[in-house]
Chains A and B, each alone.
Chain A
Amino acid sequence: MNKSLQACWNSFGQFAGTFGGFQLFSLRLLPYLPKAILRPRLITEQIYSIGALSLVLTMFGGFFVGVVLALQSYSTLVEFGQVDSLGAFASEALVRELGPVVAALLFAGRAGGAVASEVGLMRATNQIAAMELMAVDPLQRIIVPRFIAGVISVPLLAAIFCTMGILGAYLVGVHQLGVDAGAFWSHIQDRVDLFEDVGSGLFKSFVFGVSASLMGVYEGYYAVPGASGVSRAATRTVVITSVWILLFDFVLTGMTMPGV
């Protein structure tokens, strides 16, 4: 009994240690952020490998989420004779919830894990130590560009996800299920609000972008050198980021939902 309590306490201590280390790491990055503008090329390269290469996956995901959303909601809406609001229904769900969350989850799987294993492998092959020897700050040279690139990419990816989703819903709703095209768009314009819906969606995806990229670089930077350590860093990034995104989405939705 005493032993299991001890084990419990130990794992809690480990959790608190990781959490605290993560916070301190985030604080340490802050003073580097303004200086990163001096080397924009480093950021562009990372936007390419983190954001632009995730583009096809995100567009694909967004399109089919929109298509399925339209098909699903049509069968319910048609019972009430409200198929005209199919577009509003689909786009509100996409812009508020599905866009930011699913785009961030895809990003965590596609790019977060890649960043963690890349940085972890640099740690394992002593590239980070070599940089420190040459008086190059690895935080400035490796970590901060990846972080900034992630923060820029995720909201853009979420916006692309939503747009593809609305187009997918439009294709299925209007061309296959026979919803009136004018009604589809006018209901969207009527129901979706710029600040309450689009604004809160973009704000959410910004928060998710910050947390997903921080987690990736943190896990990679402190990965245990070696094959298993690197793979664990990649796995932990994807798992922790996904849990964090879903949990935090609940909090943010509660905060931004009007009239709750």
Chain B
Amino acid sequence: MSSEARAIDVSVGLFILLGLGSVIFLTSQTLGSNGLSGGESYTLHARFGHIGDLKVRAPVALAGVTIGRVSQITVDPRDYQATVELRIDTTFNQLPVDTFASIATTGLLGGKYIELDPGGDDEVLQDLDEIQFTQSAILLENLIGKFMLKGKAEPDE
């Protein structure tokens, strides 16, 4: 093989390695600590009266640490409640049945996420179980509305 052909081979090899390296870089950067990255998970359900702007893929947090994701949001056509499906890492399969699920907000205007607050029951939640104790999203608009009405009402008293 001539040295020129060899030089071409080497640079083509380097080029392709660099390209594949970049693909791997991009892939690995996106598969970091975002809760569920290929690991085993189990499913829980929770029903809320109002979910605010909770989105699919929103984090499910335990003590502020992401342990899962919201995988599906549907509305029950009979009792008009939102049913949220949570996929949670199997490492955290010891949640008591009286775990409390609330929709919280990151920061003042940040996105919504589900915060789990474990109770003290001895029984634990199994796959496909439903969380009994939930609290709907707090709507900022409603709070502001209440606050303003209260401010107006007070001078009359």
Q: What is the 8 Å Cβ interface bit string for chain A, positions 31-66, against chain B (1 contact, 0 not)?
A: 000000000010011011001100100000000000
Q: Which residues of A contact B30 (CB under 8 A)?
A: 188-189, 192-194, 197-198
B92 in contact (CB, < 8 A):
no
Establish whether residues A159 and B23, one from each chain, have CB atoms under 8 Å apart when the complex forms: yes
Known: A48-B11, A162-B26, A185-B29. A55 touches B18 (CB 8 A): yes
Establish whether residues B29 and A189, one from each chain, have CB atoms under 8 Å apart when the complex forms: yes
Of the candidates B14, B25, B27, B32, the one whose C-beta lies within 8 Å of that of A186 is B32
Q: Which residues of B contact A41 (CB under 8 A)?
A: 5
Of the candidates B22, B27, B32, B33, the one whose C-beta lies within 8 Å of that of A156 is B22
A79 in contact (CB, < 8 A):
no
Establish whether residues A163 and B12, one from each chain, have CB atoms under 8 Å apart when the complex forms: no
Q: Which residues of A contact B26 (CB under 8 A)?
A: 95, 159, 162-163, 198
- Please measure, in the bound complex, the distance between the C-alpha atom of A156 and the C-alpha atom of B31, giving whole angstroms: 20
Q: Which residues of A contact B8 (CB under 8 A)?
A: 44-45, 48
Q: Which residues of B contact A185 (CB under 8 A)?
A: 29, 32
Q: Is the interface of B mostly helix, strand, loop or mixed?
A: helix
Establish whether residues A194 and B11, one from each chain, have CB atoms under 8 Å apart when the complex forms: no
- Please measure, in the bound complex, the distance between the C-alpha atom of A162 and the C-alpha atom of B29, giving whole angstroms: 12
Establish whether residues B19 and A159, one from each chain, have CB atoms under 8 Å apart when the complex forms: yes
Tell me the smallest distance from the CB of B114 to a CB of chain A, in Å: 16
- Please measure, in the bound complex, the distance between the C-alpha atom of A156 and the C-alpha atom of B20, giving whole angstroms: 7
Q: What is the 8 Å Cβ interface bit string for chain A, positions 157-199, against chain B (1 contact, 0 not)?
A: 1011011001000000000000000000110111011100110
A202 in contact (CB, < 8 A):
yes
B129 in contact (CB, < 8 A):
no
Establish whether residues A162 and B12, one from each chain, have CB atoms under 8 Å apart when the complex forms: no
How many residues of A sit at the interface, in one of the four size bands?
20 to 34
Tell me the smallest distance from the CB of B111 to a CB of chain A, in Å: 11
- Please measure, in the bound complex, the distance between the C-alpha atom of A47 and the C-alpha atom of B26, giving whole angstroms: 22
Count A-B contacts at CB 8 Å: 74
A242 in contact (CB, < 8 A):
no
- Please measure, in the bound complex, the distance between the C-alpha atom of A192 and the C-alpha atom of B26, giving whole angstroms: 9
How many residues of B sit at the interface, in one of the four size bands?
20 to 34
Establish whether residues B27 and A189, one from each chain, have CB atoms under 8 Å apart when the complex forms: no
B16 in contact (CB, < 8 A):
yes
Of the candidates A47, A95, A157, A198, the one whose C-beta lies within 8 Å of that of B12 is A47
Tell me the smallest distance from the CB of A62 to a CB of chain B, in Å: 9
- Please measure, in the bound complex, the distance between the C-alpha atom of A47 and the C-alpha atom of B8, giving whole angstroms: 9
Whose C-beta in chain A lies nearest to the C-beta of B21? A163
- Please measure, in the bound complex, the distance between the C-alpha atom of A21 and the C-alpha atom of B12, giving whole angstroms: 33
Of the candidates A47, A163, A166, A193, the one whose C-beta lies within 8 Å of that of B15 is A47
A91 in contact (CB, < 8 A):
yes
- Please measure, in the bound complex, the distance between the C-alpha atom of A189 and the C-alpha atom of B22, giving whole angstroms: 16
Tell me the smallest distance from the CB of B154 to a CB of chain A, in Å: 33
Establish whether residues A156 and B29, one from each chain, have CB atoms under 8 Å apart when the complex forms: no
Establish whether residues A198 and B27, one from each chain, have CB atoms under 8 Å apart when the complex forms: yes
A-B contact pairs, 26 of them (CB 8 A): A41-B5, A44-B8, A44-B12, A48-B12, A51-B12, A55-B15, A55-B18, A155-B19, A156-B19, A156-B23, A159-B22, A159-B23, A159-B26, A162-B22, A163-B21, A166-B29, A185-B32, A188-B29, A188-B30, A188-B32, A190-B33, A190-B34, A192-B29, A194-B30, A197-B30, A198-B30
| 10 closest cross-chain pairs (CB), A and B | A156-B19, A189-B32, A159-B22, A52-B15, A163-B22, A192-B30, A48-B8, A159-B23, A194-B30, A160-B22
